[in-house]
Chains A and B, each alone.
Chain A
Amino acid sequence: MILLLQTAIRCSAAFIYGCLGEIVTEKSGHLNLGIPGIMCSGVAGGCLGVSVYMRSLQDPALASYIMIVLVGVLGAFLFAAALGAIYALLTVSLKCNQNITGLALTTFGGGFAQVVMDNFVKTSDSITRVNFSIASSKIASPLPFAENLGWFGQLFFSYGILVYLAIALAIVTAIIFNRTKIGLRLRAVGENPAAADAVGVRVNAYKYGAILIGAGIAGIGGFFYVMDVVQGLYESSGPIEAIGWLAIALVIFTLWKPNLAIIGSILFGALYMLPSFLDVPSQIVNALLTMVPYVATVVVLIVISVLDSKENQPPASLGLNYFREDR
């Protein structure tokens, strides 16, 4: 049981990043369906960073922990934010349809990641494989004192640094939303951009900021998934895209609240990891198990729509572009 929970929490970080990124974006009134593609490009950026760093060393085994994490996270964030910038340019400045732009981004992102991975990171290369297994083991290495604390340590301290970063980010985001001027303004932009504009909030600046940061956070999620959950073995962008979609659905489940994203992600982490965790030999049972997270998402969507409470609504102007001179 503890083992399942442990697996769930570990995997949940990927969802937290994705979900958090989307929450930040949606708070500015933009529904970014490009998150799957953005997470893929995060993979590309992070892996490229790690790969370049490790190839520059004489002996990859001596790579420093801090550098790997730093280079990886930074690369993932930057690449993802670059894609976010395309989305922001198209939807904020050029006022294009958000859904369509997002979907185009997903198509592009998946291909882009694959190209980077094949041509620059060279995943099929044996050097890369060795490098990545070293990097992955470093990134996923548990906190030093976890072993001494028995089941407690296993449950709370046995994860790589990026898991803690995810949770910390979620909490910080929650605080920013509820306790600061920036958070208040961002929420106002998502709720009623005309109102925010009228009091002098720079609507487009906030939108750009939220979309870029949101995309960057989601990108770290992709990098985390490859380096931690599947231990550096990247094959295709398929599973990352699936996580991206689930993360977007999770936003509805968490009612646009970053702290709820942690709990929701752990739940989905558990469901997602169920097939590989139980490891049943029967193909039939496995096929059924892979279905579970998606069916669960559908159930969540239905339940939330049936409940339809007044308080927990999406940002009022979600999906609508703002043009000041609209009449």
Chain B
Amino acid sequence: MDNQKVTVKEPLFHVAKRDNLKTKYKVLIYACAIILALVIGSITCTVIGDRGNPIVFFSSLFNGALGSERKIFKFLKDTSLLLCVSMALLPAFKMKFWNLGANGQILVGGLAAIACMWYMGRGTNGAISDTVIIICSVIASMVAGAIWAVIPAIFKALFNTNESLFTLMMNYIAQSLVLLMIAIWVQGTGKTTLPEINYGHLPILFGKREILTILMGAVITSAMFAYLKFSKQGYELSLVGDSQNTARYTGINVKKVIIRTLIVSGAICGIVGLLLTAGAVTPTIGTNTANNMGFTAIMTTWLGGSNPLFIAGTCALVSFVNNGMSEVKTNFGIQSDVYANVVIGIVYFLIIACAFLVQYKVTLRKKKKQAKENGFLNGEDKKEVK
């Protein structure tokens, strides 16, 4: 440094926009981030837990997620469910519509299915065949989910009402609605939870309850992929997301597209609700039925970019950590149920931070020529310092 005289110091780092990073490097960056996050998770576990060490962490994580056939199926089921919700959010996100209300949409979808089962099955003591009930609950749950999503969409389209907070509030309204319906149903019985309903369960395919869900995940994902990539409606909604002015100029009815897309989004969430209630071992509903998948899916969708394949990857990652952590918890003697959220949070942070390394390059001031190669390495160092 030859600038002692002057008051101004030259900064150590120089940040500039990157043109386009090779996919190879991108994958490498993300892989490093995930591993780093899990390592940090293992260390914190060791610190917090009564016993265990980082190696135990990884083995029990793996064991907890994929240790037996039952666990593998649970993992696949959880991943598919999450993937379904992500696919529901994807078109809305492509349109730059922040649908934070998937929790609520799932919940009312489930509620509609339970209502069908309750009134048509239990109410008539089984006079109506299960097939009819199932068809009705499929329709009802899709319609309910769609309604829950379309209300904020209508106001967004007409008055540009802040959709992220609107959809958030709809989550809580949905929770209250569930409480209300339960209260109505169990009125006078002195109970506070719903009794088991043995009508209109979804069929069990190939002897495994999870298979239906897994199939749904595959179907919805491929359908959504085709819808976004090849269909005119998919083109329209991407255009609305990219530039509303241009969309208007092209003659697209932006309001219609917003509303239509959210109907699709909500209906898929409704189906997830159906799977979670009528497809469960003991069909019932509570305020936690959605299991916060709405929020998790926001993260998986965004982190996966707009690529369904990457989204499937992030969904699998989150389910993997989530399921694996239950075993980690017991092996480490950690009491908290939601400890998985801490590790998943760390994973999120590091993956989010990767976006920076992908979009910008950081160079040390003095080493100008090596800019490209050193770009992400410098960044990586910085992160570890934190």
Contact = CB atoms under 8 A, between A and B. Distances in A.
Query: Do A and B truly interact?
Result: yes
Contact of B162 (A283, A290, A305): A305
Contacts of B176: 287-288, 290-291, 294
Contact of A119 (B165, B172, B336): B336
Contact of B336 (A114, A288, A305, A325): A114
Contacts of B128: none
A305 B152 CA distance: 12
20 contacts: A94-B352, A94-B355, A95-B360, A96-B356, A107-B299, A107-B344, A107-B348, A110-B341, A114-B338, A115-B48, A119-B48, A119-B336, A245-B172, A283-B183, A288-B176, A288-B180, A298-B170, A305-B159, A325-B15, A325-B16
Given A118-B335, A291-B177, A249 B169 contact: yes
B164 A99 contact: yes
B160 interface: yes
Contacts of A165: none
B366 interface: no
Nearest to A105: B345
Contact of A252 (B162, B173, B341): B162
Contact of A302 (B161, B339, B386): B161
Given A97-B355, A104-B349, A108-B349, A242 B183 contact: no
Nearest to B175: A290
A225 to B, nearest CB: 16
A94 B359 CA distance: 10
Please list the 9 inter-chain residue pairs (A to B) with the smallest Cβ-Cβ separation, ordered nearest first: A108-B345, A111-B341, A283-B183, A287-B180, A94-B356, A104-B348, A291-B176, A305-B161, A287-B179
Given A90-B349, A90-B353, A108-B342, A100 B299 contact: yes
B179 A290 contact: yes
A242 B340 CA distance: 21
Contact of B183 (A89, A118, A252, A284): A284
Interface residues of B, number: 56
Contact of A89 (B170, B340, B344, B386): B386
A17 to B, nearest CB: 19
Given A104-B349, A305-B160, 14 more contacts: A86-B349, A94-B353, A94-B355, A96-B352, A96-B355, A107-B341, A108-B349, A111-B336, A111-B344, A114-B336, A284-B180, A298-B170, A305-B159, A323-B17
A207 to B, nearest CB: 15
B73 interface: no
Contacts of A326: 17
Contact of A96 (B179, B339, B353): B353
Contact of A111 (B98, B170, B183, B345): B345
Interface string A280-322: 0011101110110011011001100110100000000000000
A155 interface: no
B346 interface: yes
B298 interface: yes
B19 interface: no
A100 B314 CA distance: 14
Interface string B52-85: 0000000000000000000000000000000000
Contact of B155 (A90, A283, A287, A305): A305
A27 B353 CA distance: 24
Chain A interface size band reads: 35 or more
Interface of A: 33, 86, 89-90, 94-97, 99-101, 103-112, 114-115, 118-119, 237, 242, 245, 248-249, 252, 282-284, 286-288, 290-291, 294-295, 297-298, 301-302, 305-306, 308, 323, 325-326
A99 B164 CA distance: 9
A100 B351 CA distance: 11
A299 B16 CA distance: 44
Residue among B296, B348, B386 with the highest chain A CB neighbour number at 10 A:
B348
A288 to B, nearest CB: 6
A114 B170 contact: no
B192 A283 contact: yes
Nearest to A120: B48
Interface in B296-342: 296, 298-299, 302-303, 334-342
Nearest to B386: A89
Contacts of B337: 114
A103 B356 CA distance: 18
Interface string B76-106: 0000000000000000000000101000000
A294 B173 contact: yes
Nearest to B160: A305
A118 B337 CA distance: 9
B187 interface: yes
B298 A103 contact: yes
A325 B17 contact: yes
B96 to A, nearest CB: 11
B86 to A, nearest CB: 13
Interface in B279-306: 295-296, 298-299, 302-303
B168 interface: yes
B287 to A, nearest CB: 9
